[in-house]
C-alpha cells in the first residue's frame, strides 16, 4: 500500500525485478530478499499497531516475553542482547523504557555485583498476557497465510538462518 492507504495498481517488487533483470544477474534472489524485507516492514508495522495501546513496541514486547520465559523472571542485560540479537545499547534503551513504565526493574546480580539484571514485575507479566492475547487474536499479522503455509515458511527460512549462524 502507498502511504495514503491505497494499493498500487502493480506490484513494485515485480517491476523492480524486471528493471533489475535488464541490468544485472540474480533476479530471483533480489526479488525474494526484497519481498522478505517488505513483508518484515509490513508485519512489524502491524504488530506495533496492535501493541501501541499497551504502550509497547514489538521490541519491548519481545524483551518482556524473554523475561517471562526465564526461570527466575530476570536475565543479565548482556544475555538479553544475545538472545534478542540486538546491540547492547538497544537492550539498554529497551530496558530503560520498560523500567520507566514499571514493567521491569534493574537489580544487581546476587553473585556478581558487576552484572545488572532486568527483572520483570507483576505489572510486566500481566501486560505480557493481555498483549499476547491481542497478538494471537490478530494472527500476529499473518492471517493471510494458512497454518500449513506458516509451517512451510518457517521451514523454508530455517536454512538461511542456520547458514547465517543464527542457530
H or E stretch at 63? helix 58-69
- Whether residue 25 is contained in a domain is answered as yes
- Is residue 47 assigned to a domain? yes
pLDDT tens for the chain, 167 residues long, are 555 678 999 999 999 999 999 999 999 999 999 999 999 999 999 999 999 999 999 999 999 999 999 999 999 999 999 999 999 999 999 999 999 999 999 999 888 878 999 999 999 999 999 999 999 999 999 999 999 999 999 999 999 999 999 88
- What is the b/e burial string over 102-112, where b = at least 16 CB atoms within 10 angstroms of the residue's CB? ebbeeeeeeee
Q: How far is CA 139 from CA 31, 129, 134, 145, in A?
A: 25, 15, 9, 9
CATH code, domain with 105: 1.10.10.10
Question: Whole domain around residue 24: which residue ranges?
Answer: 12-163
Is 4 within a domain? no
- The total of structural domains in the chain comes to 1
- Domain contains 59: yes
Amino acid at each position: 500500500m502507498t502511504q495514503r492507504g491505497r494499493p498500487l495498481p502493480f506490484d513494485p517488487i515485480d517491476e523492480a525485478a524486471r528493471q533489475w533483470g535488464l541490468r544485472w544477474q540474480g533476479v530471483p534472489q533480489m526479488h525474494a530478499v526484497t519481498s522478505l524485507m517488505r513483508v518484515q516492514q509490513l508485519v512489524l508495522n502491524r504488530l506495533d499497531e496492535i501493541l501501541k495501546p499497551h504502550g509497547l513496541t514489538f521490541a519491548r514486547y519481545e524483551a518482556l516475553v524473554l523475561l517471562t520465559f526465564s526461570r527466575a523472571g530476570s536475565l543479565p542485560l548482556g544475555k538479553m542482547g544475545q538472545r534478542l540479537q540486538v546491540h547492547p545499547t538497544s537492550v539498554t534503551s529497551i530496558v530503560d523504557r520498560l523500567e520507566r513504565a514499571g514493567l521491569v526493574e534493574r537489580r544487581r546480580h546476587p553473585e556478581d555485583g558487576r552484572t545488572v539484571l532486568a527483572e520483570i514485575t507483576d505489572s510486566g507479566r500481566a501486560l505480557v498476557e493481555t498483549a499476547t492475547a491481542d497478538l494471537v487474536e490478530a494472527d500476529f499479522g499473518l492471517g493471510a497465510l494458512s497454518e500449513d503455509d506458516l509451517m512451510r515458511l518457517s521451514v523454508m527460512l530455517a536454512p538461511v538462518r542456520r547458514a547465517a549462524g543464527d542457530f
